[in-house]
Amino acid sequence: MKNMLENLRRYQELLLRIRQLDHELTTYPESIEKLGRELKQHQVAVARSEEQFTENSDQKDRKEEYLVLCKENLEKFEQDLMEVTNQKEYSAVLKEIDSTKREIQETEGLIITLMESTKQLETDYDQLKTNADQLEAAYNEAISGFQDTNKEKIKEKKKLEKEKRSLEKEIPAPYMRKFNQIAAKRSGIAVATVSGECCSACNMKIRPQMVNNMQQHPEELFICDNCQRILVFVEPDGDDS
């Protein structure tokens, strides 16, 4: 029975370590998560900057096309001015010429502004893209390092799972059922040690008579009165053999 109890205790240790490894293998460290969040933010900023740059460039192109049209109209109006036959027509064409010249001046000013802002947007985009590329490289390097670390953890997990399967064959089925029933109700902790007359799981003092019985009958199964876990007695000197 005592060997069985030790096997149950070891079985629990294996379960807890395997559970911990599962969590570690599926959860990135906060440092990597932070890098990932920063990378995503920079990628969004890069996309937004690229969109603004494209929109600004398109607007500049449209204004340049409009400027060409205005200049063509001005040329046409100036040609019409040479062909008018009366003062009324002359004044109307002059008005169109003045209006078109103002439109050309305003459009040229707007194009210059758009050219300057486009240049600045391009500079901003290049800087954001560089920062994003650097963050992506750092993130990928961190992921690679995490995966390298995982290789050892995966090996450890496989080794522990093999030992776990071996113990499952050695522990009698009734005790495995008892263990699993308690573990399901106690967050996976079905076995507790007794040292200094206290349960290691709930810290409640074990009845002296039970402690005495555990020492005299190590082949029997004892359950904590308080937390209902399986108790394994540990000798005061640490030697529980």
Confidence of residue 237 (pLDDT cuts 50, 70, 90): low
How large a percentage of the chain has pLDDT more than 70? 97
pLDDT of residue 99: 95
Domains of the chain in start order, with CATH, are 10-169 (1.10.287.1490), 173-233 (no CATH)
Q: 219-228: string of b/e by CB count within 10 Å (b at 16+)?
A: eebbebeebe
pLDDT at 85 over 90: no
pLDDT at 79 over 50: yes
What would the mean pLDDT of 26-43 be, rounded to a whole number?
Answer: 93
pLDDT at 223 over 90: yes
pLDDT of residue 216: 85
pLDDT at 122 over 70: yes
Q: 65-89: string of b/e by CB count within 10 Å (b at 16+)?
A: eebeebbebbeebeeeeeeeeeeee
What would the mean pLDDT of 159-172 be, rounded to a whole number?
Answer: 94
- The total number of residues shown for the chain amounts to 241
**DSSP states of 152-203:** HHHHHHHHHHHHHHHHHHHS-HHHHHHHHHHHHHTTT--EEEEETTEETTT-
For residues 79 and 217, the model is more confident at 79
pLDDT at 47 over 90: yes
pLDDT of residue 2: 54
pLDDT of residue 195: 78
Which helix (H) or strand (E) is 20 found in, with range? helix 2-26
pLDDT of residue 1: 52
Q: What angle do CA 108, 111, 116 make, to 5 degrees?
A: 130
